[in-house]
């Protein structure tokens, strides 16, 4: 089972990170992969009530990778933590499948109270470098969080949010992964979108002129 999770995660790195050139390279050189594998052990210990030992294994993972994942956090399959350094994932954080997280991301709490206090992240979410996602909020499936955003409210599925505090930007509804959060679908190219807008305005003007001519206004 663990081998299957490892293999599919390596495959995910190969498919989604343009810098990943071979399975061996991912296996040896990707701290995000190592951190998730170590989390598998620390989480097992945590769930079997070996709490201090679980924390200790998590601490070793942090020492080796620079990525801190609390053993209580629930991680989905094929999680990619790219570059990884400085990532912090809190105790009650929950992460869906096929999530892509860059370095310096925090899934943190805003309260010192026990209980659910960290975010729930849906499937296929991308979290840009340096983003902070804070509190027991949810990030909907396919959402994208811009680099350095501070997210303090839930993000609807498919929405892209940027800034501090994070707010939606125009382009929404992208459910599939785009490496580095850039649009791969030519229909979403900003220039093509501008051309589409101009074309629609031109058609509208033509229609208005036709209507005016028909009504013999000039
Ligand atoms: C958020 C993101 C996914 C948006 O990508 P997008 O949908 O292509 O959006 P655009 O680039 O067209 O930007 C839309 C608007 O948001 C702004 N914007 C984009 N990213 C932003 C960010 N991180 N912070 C603040 N504003 C941002 C743009 O300036 C633009 O504003 P405008 O409409 O006033 O011109 C992308 O900018 C991003 O931050 N990706 C993360 C990449 C990353 O962390 N890479 C690390 C590699 S090591």
pLDDT tens readout for residues 30-58: 999 999 999 999 999 999 999 999 999 99
Looking at the CA of residue 130, tell me the nearest atom of ligand 1: 44
18 lines ligand 1 (CB under 6 A): no
Show Cβ contacts of residue 52 under 8 Å, excluding neighbours closer than 6 positions. Answer: none
Mean local confidence (pLDDT), 5-10: 94
Global pTM value: 0.81
What is the pLDDT of the chain when averaged over all its residues?
Answer: 90
Nearest residue by C-alpha to atom 45 in ligand 1: 180
Q: Beta strand 106-108 with 94-95: parallel, antiparallel or unpaired?
A: unpaired
- Confirm or reject: Cβ of 182 under 6 Å from ligand 1: yes
104 lines ligand 1 (CB under 6 A): no
First to last CA, the chain: 77
pLDDT in tens, 141-159: 999 999 999 999 999 999 9
> Ligand 1: which atom is nearest the Cα of residue 178?
3
- Phi and psi, residue 155, nearest 5°: -110, 125
């Amino acid at each position: 089972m663990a081998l299957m999770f490892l293999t599919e995660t390596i495959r995910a790195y190969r498919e989604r990170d343009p810098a990943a050139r071979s399975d061996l390279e991912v296996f040896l050189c990707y701290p995000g992969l190592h951190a998730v594998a170590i989390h598998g052990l620390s989480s097992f210990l945590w769930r079997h009530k070996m709490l201090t030992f679980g924390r200790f294994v998590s601490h070793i993972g942090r020492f080796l990778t620079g990525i801190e994942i609390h053993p209580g956090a629930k991680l989905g399959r094929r999680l990619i933590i790219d570059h990884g350094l400085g990532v912090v994932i809190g105790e009650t954080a929950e992460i869906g499948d096929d999530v892509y997280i860059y370095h310096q991301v925090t899934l943190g709490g805003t309260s010192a109270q026990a209980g659910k206090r960290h975010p729930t992240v849906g499937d296929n979410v991308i979290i840009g470098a340096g983003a902070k996602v804070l509190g027991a909020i949810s990030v909907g499936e396919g959402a994208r969080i811009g680099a350095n955003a501070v997210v303090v409210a839930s993000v609807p599925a498919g929405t892209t949010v940027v800034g501090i505090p994070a707010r939606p930007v125009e382009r929404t509804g992208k459910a599939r992964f785009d490496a580095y959060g850039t649009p791969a679908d030519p229909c979403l190219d900003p220039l093509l979108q501008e051309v589409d807008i101009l074309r629609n305005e031109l058609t509208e003007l033509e229609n208005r002129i036709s209507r005016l001519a028909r009504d013999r206004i000039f």
